[in-house]
C-alpha cells in the first residue's frame, strides 16, 4: 500500500554489520584471519575471541586493541601504523571476495521491509562503522545489483572522528538527510550501535544475533530476534510489535508512534 500523505515517519536508518546481515562471524572474522595469514602473522581470531573483540567497533581499531591487550610479548615494528593500514586493506579485499562468493545472505525480513519502505516513498540511509566498500559490496552481492541507489545516504567508516557508540555517524546521516531524529527510525543489532542511535535521539528497533543476545538494550523500542517474515514470526525479547508477528511498514509506524 502506498501512503499518499506525508508520513510522520520519513526515513529509516540501517546499521549494516549484524543488522542487514550476519557479517561478523563468517565474514569479517574470516577476512581478518586471512589478512593476518597473508602477512605471515600467526594471529588467529576464533569465534569466541572475536566476540570479545567486537566490543571495539572498527576493524583498524579492533586490530590495535588486540595487539595492545592480547599480545603482551609482541613488539610492534616502527611502522606499526602502516602495518595496521596494510592489514586492514587486505582484510577488506578478503571480505569483498567472501561477499562475491554469495555466502552472506541478508537477515530474514530485510529485503521485504526495504522493498516495502521504498514502495511507500520512505527515505533510506545507512549508518555504520564499517568501511564503505564493505557496504556497497554487501548491497550489490546480497540485495540487488543497483541496491546502492536504494539508499539516499551511505554514512560509513572513517568519515566521522568517533565511531559508535558515539552518535557521530547518525548525526552525520541526519544532517545530510536534513531531518530530525524524531522523523526517523534506526535499526541496530548491538549495544554499541544502540548507544550511538539513542545518543542521536533516534527511536531504535533492535534485532539481536548470536554475538549480541546478552547485550543491554535498554531504551530500544523493541528487541526482537529478526524482522521476521509472514509465516516466520519474529521472537519478541523486549517491548512489543503492537500485535504484529513480523515487522512490516505498518509495524514501524506503530512503533514510531509509541516511541
Ligand atoms: C561494525 C563493526 C565493523 C566491522 C568491521 O559495527 O564494528 O568494524 O566489524 O568493519 P556496527 P571494518 O555494526 O556497529 O557499525 O573492518 O571495515 O572497520
Ligand atoms: Mg552492527
For the question of residue 79 being annotated catalytic, the response is no
Would you call 185 helix, strand, or coil by DSSP?
strand
For the question of residue 15 being annotated catalytic, the response is yes
Q: Given this model, what pLDDT does residue 2 score?
A: 47
131 CA to middle of ligand 2, Å?
Answer: 13
- DSSP for 203-252? -EEEE--TTTTTS--TT-SEEES---BTTBPPPEEEE--TT-SS--HHHH
Residue 64, classified by CB atoms within 10 Å of its CB into exposed (0-12), middle (13-18) or buried (19+), is: middle
Q: Given this model, what pLDDT does residue 103 score?
A: 84
State whether the beta carbon of 131 lies less than 6 angstroms from ligand 1. yes
Q: Given this model, what pLDDT does residue 7 score?
A: 52
Would you call 21 helix, strand, or coil by DSSP?
strand
Q: Given this model, what pLDDT does residue 8 score?
A: 85
Question: pLDDT for 46-58, tens place per residue?
Answer: 999 999 999 999 9
Low-confidence ranges of the chain (pLDDT < 70): 1-7
Question: pLDDT for 60-84, tens place per residue?
Answer: 999 999 999 999 999 999 999 999 9
| Bridge pairing between strands 184-188 and 204-207 | parallel
Q: Given this model, what pLDDT does residue 186 score?
A: 98
CATH number of the 25-100 domain: 1.10.150.240
State whether the beta carbon of 171 lies less than 6 angstroms from ligand 1. no
- Which distant-in-sequence residues (6+ apart) come within 8 Å of 153 by Cβ? 125, 126, 173, 176, 177
Q: Which three cell numbers stand for residue 228?
A: 521476521
Q: Given this model, what pLDDT does residue 3 score?
A: 44
Domain regions of the chain by residue span: 11-22+105-258, 25-100
> Looking at ligand 1, which atom is closest to the CA of residue 189?
13
Q: At what angle do helices 80-100 and 59-70 cross, to 10 degrees?
A: 120
Q: Rounded CA gap, 15 and 204, in Å? A: 11
Would you call 155 helix, strand, or coil by DSSP?
strand
The residue to which cell 540487488 is assigned: 144
> Looking at ligand 1, which atom is closest to the CA of residue 91?
16
Which position among 17, 168, 183, 226 bears the catalytic label? 17
129 CA to middle of ligand 2, Å?
Answer: 8
How is domain 11-22+105-258 classified at the CATH fold level? Rossmann fold (3.40.50)
- The pLDDT > 70 percentage for the chain reads 97
Amino acid at each position: 500500500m502506498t501512503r499518499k500523505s506525508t508520513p510522520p515517519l520519513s526515513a529509516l536508518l540501517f546499521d549494516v554489520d549484524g543488522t542487514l546481515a550476519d557479517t561478523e562471524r563468517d565474514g569479517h572474522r574470516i577476512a581478518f584471519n586471512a589478512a593476518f595469514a597473508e602477512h605471515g602473522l600467526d594471529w588467529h581470531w576464533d569465534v569466541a575471541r572475536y566476540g570479545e573483540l567486537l566490543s571495539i567497533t572498527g576493524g583498524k581499531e579492533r586490530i590495535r586493541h588486540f595487539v595492545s591487550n592480547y599480545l603482551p610479548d609482541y613488539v610492534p615494528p616502527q611502522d606499526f601504523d602502516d602495518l595496521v593500514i596494510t592489514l586492514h586493506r587486505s582484510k577488506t579485499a578478503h571480505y569483498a571476495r567472501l561477499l562475491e562468493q554469495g555466502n552472506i545472505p541478508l537477515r530474514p525480513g530485510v529485503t521485504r521491509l526495504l522493498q516495502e519502505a521504498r514502495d511507500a516513498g520512505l527515505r533510506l540511509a545507512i549508518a555504520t562503522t564499517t568501511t564503505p566498500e564493505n557496504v556497497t559490496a554487501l548491497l550489490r552481492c546480497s540485495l540487488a545489483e543497483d541496491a546502492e541507489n536504494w539508499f539516499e545516504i551511505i554514512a560509513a567508516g572513517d568519515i566521522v572522528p568517533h565511531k559508535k557508540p558515539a552518535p557521530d555517524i547518525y548525526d552525520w546521516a541526519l544532517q545530510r538527510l536534513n531531518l530530525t531524529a524524531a522523523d526517523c527510525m534506526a535499526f541496530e543489532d548491538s549495544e554499541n550501535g544502540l548507544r550511538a542511535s539513542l545518543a542521536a535521539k533516534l527511536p531504535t528497533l533492535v534485532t539481536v544475533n548470536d554475538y549480541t543476545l546478552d547485550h543491554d538494550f535498554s531504551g530500544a523500542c523493541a528487541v526482537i530476534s529478526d524482522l521476521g517474515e509472514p509465516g516466520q514470526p519474529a521472537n519478541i525479547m523486549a517491548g512489543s510489535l503492537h500485535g504484529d508477528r513480523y515487522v512490516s511498514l505498518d509495524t514501524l509506524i506503530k512503533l514510531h508512534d509509541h516511541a
